[in-house]
Amino acid sequence: MGLVTDEIRARAEKYTGDEICREKTKVFLSEVSMPNGLLPLKDIEEVGYDRESGVVWLKQKKSITHKFEAIGKLVSYGTEVTAVVEVGKIKKLTGVKAKELLIWVTLNELALEQPISSNKINFRTPTGLSRTFPVSAFVVPEIEKPATEKTNGTTEVQVTNA
């Protein structure tokens, strides 16, 4: 993880365990205005986020391949994914590849097209090639759990991400 130095690890927010890591991944994606389903990782062991530098890292037990059904694209996520994030952009991305025709292409930048209201996201490779897709293809709808009654008589509604 070349982006993640000892200094960055020391000052970053770090989380371990799949459930909290999935939640924190969605939180930081939301903070930088990126779609919540962009990183559909499984069995996440660690997530770290240094807000000062924008460096983010995610470690999962094994590589996964995810198909974004809305656009029919396969994306492979390695055991370690790192990036520098800022509002509307993920750059210096490592550990992510997309299948284009018969070959896997490394992705190194994801950026919302300007103006952000255009609802398009651009995927770039180190060679300068790029593809644009609708943001909606990477959004996972939130599912509301039914209201549950607490013992003190109040009603609680829980909202979770699918």
How many distinct structural domains can be found in the chain?
A: 1
d(CA 129, CA 117): 23
Q: Is residue 93 part of a domain?
A: yes
| Domain of residue 140, CATH code | 2.30.240
Residue 135 falls within a domain, yes or no? yes
DSSP for 79-148?
EEEEEEEETTEEEEEEEEEEEETTEEEE--EEEEPSSGGG-EEEEE-TTS-EEEEEGGGGPPPEEEPPPE
- Predicted confidence at residue 162, as pLDDT, reads 46
Closest to 46 measured CA to CA, from 4, 78, 12, 14: 14
88 domain-assigned: yes
Measure the CA angle with vertex 96, ends 25 and 40; round to 5°. Answer: 35
pLDDT at 136: 94
User: What is the longest distance spanned by two Cα atoms in the chain?
Assistant: 60
Please name the helix (run of DSSP H) or strand (run of DSSP E) that holds residue 26, with its range, or none.
Answer: helix 18-31
| CA 108 – CA 125 distance, rounded (Å) | 5
* 69 located within any domain: yes
1 lies in some domain: no
Which contiguous run of DSSP H or E holds residue 6?
helix 6-11
Residue-by-residue pLDDT tens, the chain, 162 positions: 578 889 999 999 999 999 999 999 999 999 999 999 999 999 999 999 999 999 999 999 999 999 999 999 999 999 999 999 999 999 999 999 999 989 999 999 999 998 767 899 999 999 999 999 999 999 988 765 555 554 555 545 555 554
- Which residue range is the domain that position 123 belongs to? 6-161
On whether residue 146 sits in a domain, the answer given is: yes
The span from the first CA to the last CA of the chain, in angstroms, equals 29
Residues in the chain: 162
